[in-house]
């Protein structure tokens, strides 16, 4: 069973998504397990402090290295990969999803405030990944995006046929347009080729459409 661990200061925020729909059913079927952990568990002071002022000055607070180090030491198992979510990291792709699906465990380190002490990325994480060239209030949403994509690569999580039709994601194409009933709505008509029953022509149409996006 593939294991995902999310280390965050707001574990309750990620649980509703991971327990719903496909990810929830995949956990019930024991294909995957997703755990969210409160970083404050690994603090040592009575106030459970996870951040402090930045060296060199500046606005905001920086998350401390020590709790992350202790958390990873406690949670990391065999054949594991530790990912820090970072706006400055490499952009996550479908190839990364396939690669990370090859590990038994993926641990996500999620930042807040002004970020995480850089020593976490340098010495604790195996890699830094981003989901785009923009800044969010925390790393939880990127972690969920990546878990969703990785989990789909795990056998049994989605129907095998769904993955077999997704070559566009690794060939640099986007997904082709999809249509369902009714055939005509407000004079918005489904392309005739999709109604033809000619599977070869349908496949060719879908490939061409995926290249246009």
Domain hosting 140: range is: 2-160
> Hey, is 89 helix, strand or coil?
strand
User: Per-residue confidence at 114, pLDDT binned at 50, 70, 90?
Assistant: confident
What pLDDT score was predicted for residue 63?
95
- Identify the domain boundary among 144, 160, 176: 160
Do both 133 and 80 map to the same domain?
yes
* 161 or 43: which leads in pLDDT: 43
Do both 121 and 199 map to the same domain?
no
What pLDDT score was predicted for residue 174?
76
User: Per-residue confidence at 211, pLDDT binned at 50, 70, 90?
Assistant: confident
CATH code of 94's domain: 3.40.1280.10
Between CA 209 and CA 18 the distance in angstroms is 32
CATH code of 194's domain: 1.10.1270.20
Q: Which helix (H) or strand (E) holds 98?
A: helix 94-100
Instruction: Using the structure block, give the residue that is written with the tokens 């060199």.
Output: 56
Instruction: Using the structure block, give the residue that is written with the tokens 């969010």.
Output: 136
Number of domains in the chain: 2
pLDDT at 51 over 60: yes
pLDDT in tens, 125-160: 999 999 999 989 999 999 999 999 999 999 999 987
Do both 64 and 114 map to the same domain?
yes
Do both 56 and 143 map to the same domain?
yes
What pLDDT score was predicted for residue 113?
82
Do both 31 and 81 map to the same domain?
yes
pLDDT in tens, 171-208: 566 788 999 999 999 999 999 999 999 999 999 999 99
The tokens for 157 are 């999580």
Q: For 58-83, what is the mean pLDDT?
A: 96
Do both 127 and 181 map to the same domain?
no
What pLDDT score was predicted for residue 173?
62
* 32 or 115: which leads in pLDDT: 32
What pLDDT score was predicted for residue 168?
47
Nearest alpha carbon to residue 111 among 150, 157, 143, 73: 143
Q: For 60-84, what is the mean pLDDT?
A: 97
Do both 91 and 182 map to the same domain?
no
Do both 109 and 149 map to the same domain?
yes
pTM for this entry: 0.87
What pLDDT score was predicted for residue 84?
98
Do both 52 and 9 map to the same domain?
yes
Strand partners for 82: 107
- Identify the domain boundary among 160, 181, 203: 160
What pLDDT score was predicted for residue 145?
98
Do both 26 and 49 map to the same domain?
yes
Q: What percentage of the chain carries pLDDT values higher than 70?
A: 93
Do both 41 and 126 map to the same domain?
yes
> Average pLDDT, whole number, for the chain?
92
Do both 72 and 11 map to the same domain?
yes
* 169 or 82: which leads in pLDDT: 82
* 112 or 108: which leads in pLDDT: 108
Nearest alpha carbon to residue 206 among 172, 164, 178: 178
């Amino acid at each position: 069973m593939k294991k995902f661990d999310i280390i965050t200061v707001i574990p309750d925020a990620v649980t509703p998504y991971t327990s719903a729909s496909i990810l929830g059913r995949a956990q019930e079927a024991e294909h995957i397990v997703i755990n969210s952990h409160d970083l404050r568990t690994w603090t040592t002071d009575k106030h459970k402090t996870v951040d402090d002022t930045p060296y060199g000055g500046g606005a905001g607070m920086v998350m401390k290295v020590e709790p992350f180090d202790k958390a990873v030491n406690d949670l990391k198992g065999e054949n594991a990969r530790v990912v820090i979510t970072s706006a400055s990291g490499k952009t996550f792709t479908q190839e990364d999803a396939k690669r990370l699906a090859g590990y038994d465990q993926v641990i996500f380190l999620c930042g807040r405030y002004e970020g995480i002490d850089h020593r976490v990325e340098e010495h604790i994480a195996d890699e830094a990944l981003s989901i785009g060239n923009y800044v969010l209030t925390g790393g939880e949403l990127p972690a969920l995006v990546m878990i969703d994509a990785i989990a789909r690569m795990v056998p049994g999580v989605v129907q095998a046929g769904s993955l077999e039709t997704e070559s566009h994601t690794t060939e640099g194409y986007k997904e082709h347009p999809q249509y369902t009933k009714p055939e005509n709505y407000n004079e918005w008509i489904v392309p005739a080729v999709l109604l033809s029953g000619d599977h070869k022509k349908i496949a060719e149409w879908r490939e061409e459409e995926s290249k246009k996006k």
